[in-house]
A and B are shown apart, each in its own frame.
Chain A
Amino acid sequence: MKRLSIALVLSIVGVTTGCGLTIDAPRDFLRLNSKEGLKLTTADDARVWVREQSTSVPADLDFWTEALLNDLVERRGYLVVSDDEVTDCGPGRELVCDASVEGIDYRYSITVYVVAPKRIRTVEYLAPKEEFERYIAGVREARGTVR
């Protein structure tokens, strides 16, 4: 109950981390202390991780998305469920994939934004496959509030 209250308060005022990113936390999500971007989790362990990372070379969104897609599908064996353009927080691409790890089926969403010529922002959302739909709407809504 206390956790939920904290989550609600944080979701109202927004969450700021040491990395400078903020997000209006989705309902039921609690922010964790981390210096590696924004980490939020639910009581049943759905996870959201927002990060900004530097790249050694500049490239546009199409290039980075294709590079990511190739790696996820060809090298890691993910199965792409959907691939959509998003505009909630500037132009971005959201990939939703399925994969199984140690006998558990997961559904994974990663949204990529190019926020500067050599800077990528990713919003990842991971949940056991059967739980994925429960939070995805809230995560997508919150994704648009990342600043």
Chain B
Amino acid sequence: MTRPAATNGTRALYWGICMKWVVVAAMLTCAGCASMPGESAWIANDVASRTLEASAGYLGSDRGLSSTVAADQAEIRVSVDDAPDAGRLMIYEGSFTIIVGNPDDAIGSLIRRVQETGGYLVEKKDRSVTCRVPADRFDEVVAGVRGSGQIAHEHVTAQDVTREYMDIGIRLENAETSRTRLLKLLEKAEAVEAILKIEEQLRRLTDEIERMKGALRYMTERVSFSLITVSYQAPLINNSRSARQASRFPWINRVGIRSVLERF
């Protein structure tokens, strides 16, 4: 497959981002090797967040970052620090169908467990529960779900959104830079027509900035809190004649739930 020809500027930006992530990976490895296991996660997060900060500063300096942008970036950096693995921004999601004797008890138990981890209930419908748990407790809650009964279905996904997160962050910086310039222009503008045009541009940019901030917040939420959906089922009676051999004792074949329902 042929790739579209990139301009020199685009190519330079692309390689710039790639090189920065190579540096991030190297720093994470060094931090992990040089520290105690308990410290490594903290150091990795710290190094990665500072590297992200440096990257944003570097890219921003080319475009003249304003203090407003810096303040917004600080907000974003906090979110990155909260991520379970700041080297990569991963969204973990899991869905399960579990067969248990008492689905209602299992649902209550799951909700309590989720709340204990600092998570929260998103939706409860019939015997299906959707909740979010802190990403660093995802494995623990999943292990509990698996152990609560017989697993009929399991689907766990991990989505790497690092690149997407960075892309939105860069676009946000650019938009903030443009907005700052427009504000300065607005201060100097005297003609009514020019003022109206600038204000129109400012409105458009402000909307775009809010949308991007919202997208970053949403992504950060999904990275920080993993989604778990569990559907509980009671055991099903096996109605297949081929699968079920009749008891050799006739009286046993004549008792049971289906017998009471159909021959009563």
Residues of A with Cβ closer than 8 Å to B?
32, 36, 39, 41, 47, 49, 51, 53-56, 64, 67-68, 71-72, 75-79, 81, 98-101, 105-106, 108, 110, 120, 122, 124, 126, 129
Contacts and interface: CB of A to CB of B under 8 A. Distances in A.
Contacts of B255: 51, 68, 110, 122, 124
A126 B261 contact: yes
B234 A79 contact: yes
Given A39-B264, A101-B257, A126-B257, A71 B247 contact: yes
13 contacts: A56-B250, A67-B252, A75-B245, A77-B236, A77-B238, A79-B101, A81-B101, A98-B101, A98-B102, A98-B234, A99-B257, A100-B234, A122-B255
Interface of B: 101-103, 233-238, 244-245, 247, 249-258, 260-261, 263-264
Contacts of B101: 79, 81, 98
B233 A76 contact: no
Contacts, number: 82
Contact of A105 (B234, B238, B245, B264): B234
Contacts of A51: 254-255
A79 B103 CA distance: 12
A108 B233 CA distance: 17
Q: Is the contact region of chain B dominated by helix, strand, or loop, or is it mixed?
A: loop
Contacts of A64: 249
Contact of B260 (A72, A78, A126): A126
A76 B240 CA distance: 10
Contacts of B254: 51, 53
A61 to B, nearest CB: 13
A81 B234 CA distance: 12
Given A68-B255, A75-B244, A110-B255, A47 B264 contact: yes
Contact of B264 (A49, A75, A99): A49
Contacts of A72: 256
Contacts of A101: 237, 257-258, 261
B251 A120 contact: yes
Given A72-B256, A108-B260, A126-B260, A100 B249 contact: no
B235 A75 contact: no
B244 A55 contact: no
B234 A99 contact: yes
B49 to A, nearest CB: 49
A105 B101 CA distance: 10
Contacts of A56: 249-250
Q: Which of A47, A105, A129 has the most CB of B within 10 A?
A: A105
A100 B237 contact: yes
Task: Across the A-B interface, give the 9 residue pairs with the lowest CB-CB distance, nearest first.
Answer: A79-B101, A53-B251, A100-B234, A126-B260, A71-B247, A105-B234, A79-B235, A77-B235, A108-B257
Given A67-B247, A68-B252, A100 B238 contact: no
A53 to B, nearest CB: 4
A76 B244 contact: yes
A48 to B, nearest CB: 9
A124 B251 CA distance: 13
Contacts of A67: 247, 249, 252
Contact of A76 (B250, B256, B264): B256
